[in-house]
Structure 1
């Protein structure tokens, strides 16, 4: 066999591939030297991608090499490809952190538990490969990526993007560069140059060739190495030497497949049957192959002609010479022959050890609808879902629906398949499955379930639009069927309406959703936290803000009691924003901290973007900008990894507090454009609020007022304006238009009087003092300072000092003004709230105050963003694996960065980090009590914050 053939090369050099081999030599050298590298090789079928992988395998002396091949017929089997990667090193999985170890075991069906987050599985694989590379550099070769099961493809792409310094090489080969592998370095392969093509063709010939035949082969092959060899092999010596012309050119994959098909057709019947069985089962397990072949009356002698023809190898693994040889074998068989092969494989597969593969073969063997097979596929879908394989679950359910004869059962399976498709991100396929149900006679529960899926589809594709209306429709249909599910769906509808805001579709605005939710059936059980959230939101949005406060207050203090982690995660976002909407800073602090911890501890990494955003805002309002910035950096990593489309809410607020006008304008403009496109009205509110906050800090009150008017334009949900209203009042008064603040102040007062918290009453008193302006303002300013001083909200407290000081200066009470302005300027400067600090500085100079105070340069200023994140987490007591989990990198990469941190900061151990890095204003999140119960009032952390603020204000 010539040494240049894809997949079967034994030589060292590859004809015409010097440049590509050089790239791969450097990759192998870097891995041996301790670095990690990923590379995607792409090009048409037969261009030599597999030959390059073979080249790497030969060159990787001293490295452990793991090979994976994607196979089209295995795309529905969850984590099938990933299993090939991990099996050689799976003995090291006990070294992984417990959540990762458990996720990997569940994914591979080795243990039981809730479905693992796919990003946690990715971290587990990264950790596993990193552990393997500790003992020997590791190179993974992944061929035919386009045919990997989606779960495996996502995880391996995740690992490739998160490699650091682990001595791991990850090399992909695929037909075309797709979105799954975006961001990974690429090496595109094209046909050989003419001289190299001629040389390769000559090396493959065993006799003379007519010049016209040679030129025709070169013309049709277009430099494709496999085509050159296949076309030459397809001609007899007489045809090669006698000037026999080739037929007209066909597309390369088609012509190559036809060439393989001709070779297969020339084989004895029993050999063709053996190859068909091998093509139908891509596991490569020779024992399974021979068991199935035996059921078809095929013995071991049948393999010899296939081996002699160079089509397949039957050793410790069953391997086709080229993927097109497998495809040609399978497609060349009749439907009845394929069904017979799958039936034999289903019978030969152990139903206890590999029930899913057995079910899939049974499905392929079914000549028509078969309820038994459909039921088994449904069970396989359940197992796939339990392992985190949503794509596989949806494929099983879709096939089950096709094999179902009963119309009602068929529709029910189609709805279930559509729901799985939505969860897996296959929105077009979900829409097609829902179309199957439109003409079916659905049960009321099936109809409601279909509407829920339609709502989820609408929400995922356009955030606002019709999602609230569809959810309301589904909730009404569920009322006589399942009261608990109906109430949960009403709450989803309210949340969707709040999220869509001004961009909700007809019938889905907040008042309409609230009126419908008020009529939700009462729970048959004592009200849970979720029941109270629904009752409170519905009452507050329908009857007035104050009507919902009693229910929502109880809901926040009951939240977490008798709830599973899954239930908490489902509703935590709503609970956290409810704490903001009722101005409860203590519960907000507790809930946001719990949200992040829960997402991390349970491995629900898809929840991290929302959780980190909530926690970052808590830190921003507490004035802890450095640690908020660290969380926002972590958030960017989480979004990059999870593909979350969440707007940059945290980054907008951080830039506004820092006074970075260009950054705020850039972020808010992009957010408003994106939110408008997606129907995410709440994004517009936040963007306009961030601009108002910035311009009030800069003293550009006209621009602040303009932003505020946009922010409060949609006031059907007054609670969503809790941050915009104070900005509106300040901007209107400062720009000489206090009448514009009248409505905003009335709305703010309604909220403050109803909830009665120090936060709300303090901001209300501060705003009232601005409006009155005369001598009655002073007791209001004092009240604002006192009330906000009892909270953990340093930014609002500092702003109260600033406004009080400005009022005193205008009354020519210079000494009194200096006290307030000095407190404000000191707090703003220490927090890094630059625009407000500059404003306080100008006022302080005007009364003769000391204005040369500047924030101490942070010890971590010389560190990169990633080094800063890692250093702060290490300071807070996190281990290297824990830090790696948070930043989606390996523990070895964490250690590499820590060594650089120590060198830059001039320290030698982790214990010294506390002395050179500032602490969080709310205390390190990592050290917060892990067993804190949300169902109890949790005042200690808030109390500590208040004592610290009080001390700060006295300095």
Structure 2
């Protein structure tokens, strides 16, 4: 009978693991990062849990330092034994995982979709019996695997899955931050002395024991290993050479001393095994035999490595010590042997990597192999690996021109993978090479994209504009797309930009070569926006309408939709075209849900703002919750303009002020004037709702001052007109109305004409005012824009009360109050209540309809079920597993005393 593992001095930690295991057996899920320095006992704790999990399925993976650049290598270890459950996943997730593992060809999958696929796969496997996933040496996982596993770990809820991750405290990747941690310290002095005594035979000076305990700080592996490298004289009285090195260097030094007496062939065999990251014994022996090493060489290494069904070192530091102890030439020879022994058909990327590690200097053949590996990595969605292969290829490329070209490709891949500083360094290498004009322009274009991605402020527009101009004679299509990027960047910079304002960019875009015939939707949009910022809103309105119609009607690829639909939604809002905005924000959301989770933030923001204008604030708030969920899951950071507008409409003064402070600070740092325009607009809207008209006027004026040159910012004009008329500044209101009416008439939508009629009424008297209010109510009534309709009823009611038509006033004010209250626009509702009381009326109390017993996530799921989404579709939206959706639904049914989805 196998003896159960007992860990000295780890009583509290073992109890924590047993509680975790109990919860998983009960149907819950847990993720835990066991972290601490090398040798502190992380692996032993993982083994302790596995040993106490009979009846559970155990899946393992381990990071390997030399494999860190191979995409999804760690994830492949963990998930390949589970692939029989793959057909049960939703198609987008299944395809993403199959492509990531190189099992089929396809477009590079979104990295977060791979994480969601892993979550779904773990849940499906755990449906049969509890699943224990053990990830050792997570600090050495490849970036793609670490990201996907961390994504899944944060979304585990009720799948009966335990995800145990062991990583060094100081080296753990950022991906694991925020997960529950079990931090291991060294053993207590008493426990450390007991462990040391058990490992050291013979007579040992007590003072030497005390010194070892103190120096190792209770590190278990150090306590066991250090004495093995000490002479009897050192142990008996300290009569040896003193060493004052820090852990884990001390431990590695101890392992190196154990290597010294071994035969030369044994040391060479150990180096082959240390340099081979997969633990494949066949490959290790094939490479060893290629160097003339026989099986007999393994016998003296029995205490350090086991070469059986898999190659396993006694501890990862043994591997590190062996590899670090070798000379550069010895490592090159070993990697050459491994490259020669690796099947070029089955493992071309590993072979290329070993060849690269064996190269003593520039080598075009090796660089070309790495370039091909980069292409395969990109097809699997391994952007970090793509960048790593290309970066190494740059180092090995002897020809200056090819080196510069590969540096540009590496910079592009690195930018997509995330590290912008590294991408900029690679761009510098590319710029230093003999590139042709097209390639140099690509360098500048990429630099502009990187700068815009980092800070949507003043630095990007000049770079993108110059790149667009240089591209004109070289690549018309790319030049036009770059002009569109430059216009967007200039619009974000707004009044905080320096040089190359949006008007200047538009003038340059207007002079660009014409689009090929027939023009694409993006070409129509570029032409419309160029006219918008050069000749004015009215001149561009028909062209803008045509461009929006093209995006609605033409076949737009998923890639193009993901890239452009957010800008198109902004343009539709600018044109008061809520129907197009509503339609394309819905399409963008569907595209993002199908796998482009990096775009999902923008999609949720566009849709949330569309719901806000429709007066559907609960729906907008639910989408905001989804944005928060996405931020937590992906670590993304986006300025929340949609959330700011929602709380401003709701009249939540404290929340609005907090968001304004946060957004303003970031905008000033980045040079992002567009955000300051939004801030002023939101502040003016809030103050008008609260009846603080002078404050609203100040905020609206500030918004106008921050507006990009050539942009009219109708939202601020609307708030300015109401605030100015109520503050007695009718001249300012009239000037603003002149600008506003030029745009509303050019737009011609009911939303636009309703805005014009209501604003005109504020400046009118008598019959003209009443006619205008009635027209505004009629116009808004034909649209989804419920908030503006309620404001029209409110303003009409306030006018009627001043005209002493109290009965008519009460009717309008009551309608306004009920609409505002139903939509959750509390500041406007209270303003309507005050006016209604002044007119001699009373606001009816609305019954409160809410399911306060539901949690936020349960309420989200209930809402999505009502919208007709399946469990799989809900799992994508909320970034949880379908099993967790099912678990939440059972709780929802119980709380609401219902039995079916239809009853929701």
Normalised by the length of structure 2, the TM-score is 0.97
Pick aligned residue for 1:871 from 831, 847, 862: 862
Whether 2:28 is the aligned partner of 1:49: answer no
Which residue of structure 1 lines up, in the alignment, with residue 679 of structure 2? Answer: 687
Q: 8 Å contact 1:466–1:508 — kept in the other structure?
A: no
Which residue of structure 2 lines up, in the alignment, with residue 94 of structure 1? Answer: 87
Please give the alpha-carbon distance, in whole angstroms, between the structure 2 residues aligned to 1:598 and 1:10: 55
Q: 8 Å contact 1:69–1:142 — kept in the other structure?
A: yes
Deviation at 1:486, TM superposition (A): 0.7
Whether 2:129 is the aligned partner of 1:127: answer no
Q: 8 Å contact 1:42–1:175 — kept in the other structure?
A: yes
Whether 2:506 is the aligned partner of 1:514: answer yes
Which residue of structure 2 lines up, in the alignment, with residue 823 of structure 1? Answer: 815
SS of 2:903's partner is helix
Which residue of structure 1 lines up, in the alignment, with residue 312 of structure 2? Answer: 319
Deviations 1:423-442 (A, max 9, x none): 11112211221222343222
Whether 2:121 is the aligned partner of 1:106: answer no
Deviation at 1:608, TM superposition (A): 0.8
Please give the alpha-carbon distance, in whole angstroms, between the structure 2 residues aligned to 1:877 and 1:662: 35
SS of 1:910's partner is coil
Q: 8 Å contact 2:681–2:716 — kept in the other structure?
A: yes
Which residue of structure 1 lines up, in the alignment, with residue 215 of structure 2? Answer: 220
Which residue of structure 2 lines up, in the alignment, with residue 623 of structure 1? Answer: 615
Question: Residues 191-210 of structure 1: matches in 2 within 5 Å?
Answer: 191-210=186-205
Pick aligned residue for 2:344 from 340, 351, 360: 351
Instruction: Give the 4+ runs in structure 1 shifted more than 6 A.
Output: none
Whether 2:439 is the aligned partner of 1:446: answer yes
Please give the alpha-carbon distance, in whole angstroms, between the structure 1 residues aligned to 2:488 and 2:38: 49
Q: 8 Å contact 2:231–2:240 — kept in the other structure?
A: no
Do the aligned partners of residues 205 and 727 (structure 1) sit closer, same or farther apart at CA in structure 2, a change above 3 Å counting? same
Which residue of structure 1 lines up, in the alignment, with residue 242 of structure 2? Answer: 247
Do the aligned partners of residues 211 and 862 (structure 1) sit closer, same or farther apart at CA in structure 2, a change above 3 Å counting? closer
Pick aligned residue for 1:666 from 658, 675, 680: 658
SS of 2:810's partner is helix
Please give the alpha-carbon distance, in whole angstroms, between the structure 2 residues aligned to 1:551 and 1:266: 82
Which residue of structure 1 lines up, in the alignment, with residue 355 of structure 2? Answer: 362
Deviation at 1:222, TM superposition (A): 2.3
SS of 1:110's partner is coil
Q: 8 Å contact 1:581–1:719 — kept in the other structure?
A: no
Whether 2:902 is the aligned partner of 1:911: answer yes
Do the aligned partners of residues 28 and 720 (structure 1) sit closer, same or farther apart at CA in structure 2, a change above 3 Å counting? farther
Do the aligned partners of residues 10 and 558 (structure 1) sit closer, same or farther apart at CA in structure 2, a change above 3 Å counting? farther
Q: 8 Å contact 2:541–2:575 — kept in the other structure?
A: yes
Q: 8 Å contact 2:458–2:490 — kept in the other structure?
A: no
Whether 2:391 is the aligned partner of 1:398: answer yes
Question: Residues 562-573 of structure 1: matches in 2 within 5 Å?
Answer: 562-573=555-566
Deviation at 1:570, TM superposition (A): 0.7
Question: Residues 431-830 of structure 1: matches in 2 within 5 Å?
Answer: 431-504=424-497, 506-559=498-551, 561-601=554-594, 603-717=595-709, 719=711, 721-830=713-822
SS of 1:173's partner is strand
SS of 1:862's partner is coil
Please give the alpha-carbon distance, in whole angstroms, between the structure 1 residues aligned to 2:114 and 2:211: 51
Please give the alpha-carbon distance, in whole angstroms, between the structure 2 residues aligned to 1:137 and 1:130: 9
Please give the alpha-carbon distance, in whole angstroms, between the structure 2 residues aligned to 1:495 and 1:518: 15
SS of 1:47's partner is coil
Pick aligned residue for 2:291 from 269, 293, 296: 296
Which residue of structure 2 lines up, in the alignment, with residue 165 of structure 1? Answer: 158
Gaps of 5+ in 2: none
Please give the alpha-carbon distance, in whole angstroms, between the structure 1 residues aligned to 2:422 and 2:398: 21
Question: Residues 864-943 of structure 1: matches in 2 within 5 Å?
Answer: 864-913=855-904
Which residue of structure 2 lines up, in the alignment, with residue 229 of structure 1? Answer: 224
SS of 1:597's partner is helix
Please give the alpha-carbon distance, in whole angstroms, between the structure 2 residues aligned to 1:671 and 1:185: 30
Equivalent residues, number: 900
Q: 8 Å contact 2:502–2:710 — kept in the other structure?
A: no
Please give the alpha-carbon distance, in whole angstroms, between the structure 1 residues aligned to 2:346 and 2:888: 43
SS of 2:783's partner is coil
Deviation at 1:850, TM superposition (A): 4.4
Normalised by the length of structure 1, the TM-score is 0.92
Higher deviation after alignment, 365-374 or 177-186: 177-186
Please give the alpha-carbon distance, in whole angstroms, between the structure 2 residues aligned to 1:748 and 1:600: 37
Deviation at 1:263, TM superposition (A): 1.7
Deviation at 1:246, TM superposition (A): 4.8
Deviations 1:476-506 (A, max 9, x none): 12112111011100100001111121222x2
Which residue of structure 1 lines up, in the alignment, with residue 19 of structure 2? Answer: 26
Which residue of structure 2 lines up, in the alignment, with residue 423 of structure 1? Answer: 416
Please give the alpha-carbon distance, in whole angstroms, between the structure 2 residues aligned to 1:834 and 1:280: 66
SS of 1:140's partner is strand
RMSD: 1.8
Higher deviation after alignment, 297-306 or 575-584: 297-306
Deviation at 1:767, TM superposition (A): 0.7
Please give the alpha-carbon distance, in whole angstroms, between the structure 1 residues aligned to 2:357 and 2:588: 44
